[in-house]
Structure 1
Amino acid sequence: MPPRKDTDASVSVPCFYGAELRYKREQAGLTLEQLADGSFRGISFLSQIERGERGMPMDLARHVDGRLGTDGFFQRRCEDAAKARRVGIAEYFADAADQEKLARSIEDWAPMFVPGLLQTKAYAKAITRSAMPRATDATVEAIVKARLNRAKLFAGASPPKFWAVLDESVIRRRVLPPVAMAELLEHIVEVVRTTRSIVQIVPETSATHPFMMGMTRIMTFLDAPPLVYTEGLHSSQVIDYPALVMDYRESYDLLRAAALPPEASLAMIEAAAEERRNEAQQQRRP
């Protein structure tokens, strides 16, 4: 058996609390299975927290404090840890955002809007403002900045393999003026080509396909089970039940089979960008 790799508590806030959880658990002489007993969380979930790969939800913090006799330590610091890692990130997306940084592969299904990892600043701002019309400019800017910062994972030492399937309406919908829409579409093509990612388009001529539902993401990891993330308007769900994850995996594979091939999809995006450029030129003519 290879030696255990201890969590470096200095790397991040989740790593700090993960290392502290492992220390307190081992000090109490409990195994992961014993600590998980009586909670609504599995052993793999606790193991990921100890490795700093997931944040600790409040229900588990209460359970851990009770079992380890830590006098409310994890409860008191739970929200502090959440706030430290979620500036500009929606509460319901926070866990998925953490997992995104550790993923070996990310596969998105985007039926309504461009995935966050492919967005431009103008597009991110427009989408955020439409969803939060009463938000202050500072709040919108914080959200946009956080969303754009997520794309930095492509510049990491081991970037995830990214695959996105978009409904054709996503690249046709006029969220921005023609020039800005052209820049968005050109940005998508550039990211795909420079990161060796894959994007496919489900054409509007497809009356039905295997994944006619909301935004969905599948993530795989080197040392953890795969996860599925589904998102609605103001809520989301992280799914780790193996049988259900497998069902989503099969549906996503069928969706890819129904989409256009990657090169044909990129050609469609490039053509749409050119159409928006031509439209902008026509609007400037006297």
Structure 2
Amino acid sequence: MARGKRQDVWEFFGGLLKERREGAGLSQGELGGRVFVSGAYIGLFEQGIRKPQLDVAKRIDEVLQTGGIFERTWRKLIDKSPYASYFHAVAELERVATRICEFAPMAMPGLLQTASYTRALTIATYPFATEQYIDEQIAARLERAALLQDATRPEYWVVLHENAVRASVGGAATMVEQLEHILALARKRWVLVTVVPRAVGAHAHMTGTLKLMEFMDQPPTAYTETEFSGTLLDDPAVVKQARHAYDLLRAATLSPEASLELIESAAEDFRRCTRTT
């Protein structure tokens, strides 16, 4: 489902929620209290800005006595999402974030990936994938990345480990394109990139990716991901811990200028490989 159409259906979900809530004579705060979220969250659901978790959709059905319409609609939307079940909410939150801070230890983050890089990464992860599946993954990544070209793009900070910069995903030509893409975004000041050099050794958050998101009118979130699963966190104490880990990571990085020099050096190394093959 295309981004515009998917958002239209989420807005339909929100409009239906508002209609049923008002029909039951409940304010946003009253409904929120009964389903264990804030009234402000109910307002965000109704505007299609934030998407409820499945358990919240079920509780809304129970309180408003809808016969399960919100659960069914939620499941239909998720089934049509191009993302893994644990990631769909993250992709939606990226669209409304005012700041995104990300750490990538082994591979480039999705918002920075080129089509060729995504293709190579997908085939490496799913060697028996069909061309249709690969094309869907590429389209989904590029759709997400489009937010960086928007006039209202979020402030985007990225910490890369040097392993992610130097790992030859898809071969030398693909890596040249990928690294040049990151350099171009950095030079446009659409993203601030720093690199944790290999020489640092041990550092904070050694395993998995980390993404922090801040918003205009809702609490910040943290998202961590390993190879087969991801977890979206919004508990304030846990998000604070994640922010502390990210601050420690940034303290271990090269300066922005030195980081771009390292990326340029890696790109040149890959260029030499293309000239000798």
TM-score by length of 1: 0.89
Q: Which residue of 2 aligns with 1:46?
A: 42
Q: Partner residue of 1:90?
A: 84
Q: 2:252 & 2:217 partners in 1: Cα distance?
A: 31
Kindly provide the CA deviation profile for residues 182-220 of structure 1, in whole angstroms up to 9, marking residues without a partner as x: 111111111222243100100000122122221010000
- State the distance in 2 between where 1:124 and 1:10 align: 22
* 1:278 maps to 2:272: yes
Deviation at 1:147, TM superposition (A): 0.5
Match of 1:134 in 2: 128
Tell me by how many angstroms 1:262 deviates.
Answer: 0.6
Is 1:73 aligned with 2:69? yes
Question: What are the within-5 Å matches in structure 2 for residues 1-286 of structure 1?
Answer: 12-37=8-33, 39=35, 41=37, 43-84=39-80, 86=81, 88-283=82-277
1:2-44 superposed Cα distances (whole Å, 9 cap, x missing partner): xxxxxxx996221221122122112212234432445465555
Deviations, residues 41-88 of structure 1 (Å, cap 9, x unaligned): 55554343222122233322222112112222212222222244x1x2
| Separation in 2, partners of 1:175, 1:10 | 31
Deviation at 1:178, TM superposition (A): 1.4
CA offsets per residue over residues 150-197 of structure 1, 9 Å max, x none?
111122231111110011011111112212211111111112222431
Alpha-carbon displacement from aligned partner over 1:225-251 (angstroms, at most 9, x marks no partner): 111011122211111111111111121
Where structure 2 has 5 or more consecutive residues not aligned to the other structure, the ranges are: none
The verdict on how the C-alpha distance between 1:57 and 1:243 changes in structure 2, with shifts beyond 3 A counting, is: closer
Structure 2: distance between partners of 1:264 and 1:46:
45
Partner AA of 1:177 in structure 2? G
Structure 2 CA distance for aligned equivalents of residues 138 and 11 of structure 1: 23
Contact 1:200 1:260 in 2 (8 A): yes
Structure 1 alignment gaps of length 5 or more: 1-8
Aligned residues: 273
8 A contact 2:212–2:220 mirrored in 1: yes
**More moved, 208-217 vs 266-275:** 208-217
Q: 1:10 to 1:265 in 2, by over 3 A?
A: closer
Letter in 2 for 1:154: L
Q: Superposition RMSD on alpha carbons, in Å?
A: 2.0
Q: Give the Cα separation in 2 of the matches to 1:230 and 1:51.
A: 27
SS at match of 1:101: helix
CA distance in 1, matches of 2:175, 2:149: 25
What is the percentage of aligned positions where both structures have the same residue? 38
Q: CA deviation at 1:258?
A: 0.9
SS in structure 1 of the partner of residue 158 of structure 2: strand
